A and B are shown apart, each in its own frame.
Chain A
Amino acid sequence: MNLSNGGRQPNLGPLEGSVMAILWEHGESNVHQVAERLERPLAYTTVMTTLDRLYKKGLLDRRKFERAFIYSPRTSRAEFEQQAAADVVVGYLARPHPAGEVLISSLVDVVGQLDEALLDELERKIQEKRKELEQRRRS
């Protein structure tokens, strides 16, 4: 992956993450289209600034079309995540006396915890939906 910041993956804030997710899912979009697809309504200028910041971080390409910029992701989501994961591993291994087995066991633990957390969250959503259906049935 050839990012303008030398291949290093910048950290993304929550809004930046949402904007990237929209562009990965829908491809090329202008500011207006991204703003429309965001889950919470945000000012046009906020979205424009965020897109500009992502462009300057080297994560987006842009081209001008009828006086407006159209943005597209420079890498796929998979490539981005692969690079982010690689940065974490490289960062750890760069320390003096890194222990590979500790890294692997920690990764396994974290993935397990994330899986459990995701399943708990899904279970909670299902319970909510079940309650909603029961209430609807009663009324």
Chain B
Amino acid sequence: MSLPYVPRLICLLLASFFLVNVTVGLAVNWLAPRAIRWAIGARPAIAARVLLAMRLLPAVAALAVVVLFCVPSYLWFEPEATEDVGLICLIAAVAGAACWAGSALRGMSAMRRAKQYSRRFECAGHEICVGDENVWVMDEAGGLLALAGIVRPRMVASREVLRELSPEQLEAALLHERAHRISRDNLKRLLLLVAPGVLPLSKRPAGLSALERAWARFTEWAADDRAVEGDQTRSVALASALVRVARMNGSNPGSHALVTSLIADGEDLEARVDRLLRAEPSSVHPESGGPAIAAWMLAGCVAVVAILPGALEIAHGVLERLVR
């Protein structure tokens, strides 16, 4: 099939994205059980960060290859003419486009639901100040205590939760939600949701799904740790808040992808309470900038390699093979 310059570029970029995403995705899927085993022994905040990075790695690596290698090499070396594009390249490009379309649809749908949810509590609820935290109060019954929203996440609580929890329990529970807000966990949920799987229109492979579940679990543990900061009295208060809210049942929005609720899906409740009761007094280590610095250094190295004409020439050679 003959395509002019720009459509051929788009076709090549989509195909390259798809192939790199599949390759790195399969590697991550294979490594996932080992990573999760390692994470069990690591600090929850670190474990959550590493697992998130692993889950996002296929899409990030694919984007990096496209932006740093494919686009410059094509613009630099490819003559402006209409040329043929092979069937394999076309199929890969269609699969790449399907990956992007799936991600966009999932992202838009989740954001629409998040917006609807925010509108619901803005219409039906009212904002009050609890301690130094603004909380939207809903009149509905049930154990609702959650952080809703992506850009400006807000706390939502049912009147029953505010009435039934003691001041210590409520303080610990709000600190837990604040920890989620500081870590931007709802934004990370959105990233996980839009991150493509290995193949478009198919279920995510078991390894990638396991990474997402493990991330959700360690995120809760990390928020617990940050909320109690090694204070045993607060640990017990948070543990009893978890049990109390779990007893209320009701409108727990745990299944809502972009809402972080206090007891999440409830599956991990026993492990969380046990952890909190076992907690030894210790302070939570401040967030280190190590991974961010390493990521910037890596990005710098890739950029340096990318601007080398030799690397671009190799990239162009690979693209030439792909296009035929």
Residues on A facing B (Cβ under 8 Å): 25-27, 118-119, 122-123, 125-126, 129-130, 133
Q: Is B233 a contact of A126 with CB atoms below 8 Å? A: no
17 contacts between A and B (CB under 8 A): A25-B40, A26-B37, A119-B246, A119-B247, A122-B243, A122-B269, A122-B270, A123-B240, A125-B273, A125-B274, A126-B236, A126-B273, A126-B277, A129-B236, A130-B236, A133-B232, A133-B233
Least distance between B32 CB and chain A CB atoms (Å): 12
Judged by DSSP, the binding face of B is: helix
Least distance between A42 CB and chain B CB atoms (Å): 23
Q: Nearest residue in B to A26 (C-beta to C-beta)? A: B37
Least distance between B88 CB and chain A CB atoms (Å): 35
Q: Is B37 a contact of A126 with CB atoms below 8 Å? A: no
B33 within 8 Å of A (CB atoms): yes
Within 8 A of A (CB), among B250-286: 269-270, 273-274, 277
Q: Is A123 a contact of B233 with CB atoms below 8 Å? A: no
Q: Is B243 a contact of A119 with CB atoms below 8 Å? A: yes
Whole-angstrom CA separation of A125 from B274 in the bound complex: 8
Least distance between B201 CB and chain A CB atoms (Å): 24
The residues of A that contact B247 with a CB separation of less than 8 Å are 119
The residues of A that contact B246 with a CB separation of less than 8 Å are 119
Q: Nearest residue in B to A137 (C-beta to C-beta)? A: B233
B239 within 8 Å of A (CB atoms): yes
Whole-angstrom CA separation of A119 from B248 in the bound complex: 11
Q: Nearest residue in A to B239 (C-beta to C-beta)? A: A126
Top 3 A-B pairs ranked by shortest CB distance? A129-B277, A122-B273, A126-B240
Number of interface residues of B (CB under 8 A): 16
Q: Nearest residue in A to B34 (C-beta to C-beta)? A: A27
Q: Given A25-B40, A118-B270, is A126 in contact with B243 using a C-beta cutoff of 8 Å?
A: yes
Q: Nearest residue in A to B274 (C-beta to C-beta)? A: A125
Interface string of B202-240 (1 = CB under 8 A from A): 000000000000000000000000000000110010011
Least distance between B13 CB and chain A CB atoms (Å): 37
The residues of B that contact A129 with a CB separation of less than 8 Å are 236, 239, 277
Whole-angstrom CA separation of A125 from B235 in the bound complex: 13
Least distance between A119 CB and chain B CB atoms (Å): 6
Least distance between A29 CB and chain B CB atoms (Å): 11
The residues of B that contact A27 with a CB separation of less than 8 Å are 33, 37
Q: Nearest residue in A to B247 (C-beta to C-beta)? A: A119
Least distance between A91 CB and chain B CB atoms (Å): 26
Interface string of B297-324 (1 = CB under 8 A from A): 0000000000000000000000000000
Cross-chain contact of A125 among B33, B37, B269, B277 (Cβ < 8 A): B277
Least distance between A114 CB and chain B CB atoms (Å): 11
The residues of A that contact B273 with a CB separation of less than 8 Å are 122, 125-126
Q: Nearest residue in A to B246 (C-beta to C-beta)? A: A119
Q: Nearest residue in A to B278 (C-beta to C-beta)? A: A129
The residues of B that contact A133 with a CB separation of less than 8 Å are 232-233, 236
Q: Is A122 a contact of B239 with CB atoms below 8 Å? A: yes
The residues of A that contact B33 with a CB separation of less than 8 Å are 27
The residues of A that contact B236 with a CB separation of less than 8 Å are 126, 129-130, 133
The residues of A that contact B37 with a CB separation of less than 8 Å are 26-27
Q: Nearest residue in A to B242 (C-beta to C-beta)? A: A122
Whole-angstrom CA separation of A118 from B33 in the bound complex: 29
Within 8 A of A (CB), among B182-210: none
Least distance between B304 CB and chain A CB atoms (Å): 39
